[in-house]
Structure 1
Amino acid sequence: MMKGIKLARIIVILSASLLLGCTDKSVDQAEFPPEKTAAVEVNGSEYSIEKGGYRWVRKKGLETETVTTDHASPNQMAEHLKPIRVKPDQKVKVKIEDDPVMKVYLWKETGKEKEIKLEDDQITVPADKGKYIYEVLAEWKNGEISYTFVAEIQ
């Protein structure tokens, strides 16, 4: 009888240990949606860029959790952003945490105008003076974030 009770206790303890050991605590404790730092670098100085809309997806057991936000468009956001002063034809390096796939778009007041070539995480601003609105669309395996900055060519 004593052996049966000891064996039952051992089975209960092992079962509880296995159940607790199988829970993925890192998923529950991870920040969701994650915050990703983003900046542009001009002549060795870093400037933060404004986060816009985003979409993130994660699996929780058998369920999928999705967070999607709607945000002002880059040209609307640009109205309150302080322009980053740059020289004509200057390179601007885009730096976003965790090395996402990035696309950069030039915006006009009427909307998205065109995709800008990104080479070694850098764009080259135009030669003509003025304010230029840029959207950086960053994509990771489980989400994407739109960032905006304004460059003022002097």
Structure 2
Amino acid sequence: MMRGIKLIRMIVILSVSLLFGCSDKSVDQAEFPPEKTAAAEVNGTEYPMEKGNYQWVRKKGLETESVKTDHASPNQMAVQLKPIPVKPDQKVKVKIEDDPVMKVYLWNETGKEKEIKLEDDQITVPADKGTYIYEVLAEWKNGEISYTFVAEVQ
């Protein structure tokens, strides 16, 4: 009788271990970290924004998976980016997939200068001619991505 109980207990433990130990890859085919499209739109033309730092977290069964990157800062990235031509005081619409919470920052050569007001997903570029570096920090429930674009007021 005791041997029978031990055998049943062992079968139960093995069955539970197999259930939790094996993952079904077909259940979670979602890309991780997810790719989100991001663009700055000026006069109906979309200009892709450059992706910088990002971090994502997701639950996988009993485990938590996370990814965090370290990327060049927006002012360093700006050197490689082609500026978007804009007119003084022109509106630029920020379009990012899956409707994240967004904050926009103006950068200069040395770092982050100030937060820029975002209204209806749009910013207004300065009236003064020059080149302006913008970082858009997009936050979703499980992660965030920093995007950069450069506007040249002509």
TM-score normalised by length of structure 2: 0.84
Q: Does the alignment pair 1:66 with 2:66?
A: yes
1:9 maps to none
One-letter identity of the residue aligned with 1:104: V
2:78 maps to 78
In the alignment, the residues of structure 2 paired with residue 32 and residue 24 of structure 1 have an alpha-carbon distance, to the nearest angstrom, of 13
In the alignment, the residues of structure 1 paired with residue 62 and residue 26 of structure 2 have an alpha-carbon distance, to the nearest angstrom, of 16
2:137 maps to 137
One-letter identity of the residue aligned with 2:106: L
Q: Does the alignment pair 1:146 with 2:146?
A: yes
Please provide the CA RMSD for this pair.
1.6
In the alignment, the residues of structure 2 paired with residue 57 and residue 35 of structure 1 have an alpha-carbon distance, to the nearest angstrom, of 14
In the alignment, the residues of structure 2 paired with residue 144 and residue 38 of structure 1 have an alpha-carbon distance, to the nearest angstrom, of 13
Match of 2:79, SS state, is: helix
In the alignment, the residues of structure 2 paired with residue 94 and residue 53 of structure 1 have an alpha-carbon distance, to the nearest angstrom, of 18
Size of the aligned set, in residue pairs, is 134
Runs of 4+ in 1 over 3 A off after TM superposition: 22-26
Runs (5+) with no aligned partner, structure 2: 1-14
How far off is 1:25 after superposition?
3.6
Tell me the alpha carbon deviations over residues 79-133 of structure 1, each in whole angstroms, 9 at most, x when there is no partner.
Answer: 0000000000000000000000000000011100000000000000000000000
In the alignment, the residues of structure 1 paired with residue 139 and residue 25 of structure 2 have an alpha-carbon distance, to the nearest angstrom, of 25
How far off is 1:23 after superposition?
5.5
TM-score normalised by length of structure 1: 0.84
| 1:3-152 map, 5 Å | 25-27=26-28, 29-152=29-152
In the alignment, the residues of structure 2 paired with residue 146 and residue 80 of structure 1 have an alpha-carbon distance, to the nearest angstrom, of 16
**Aligned-pair identity (%):** 85
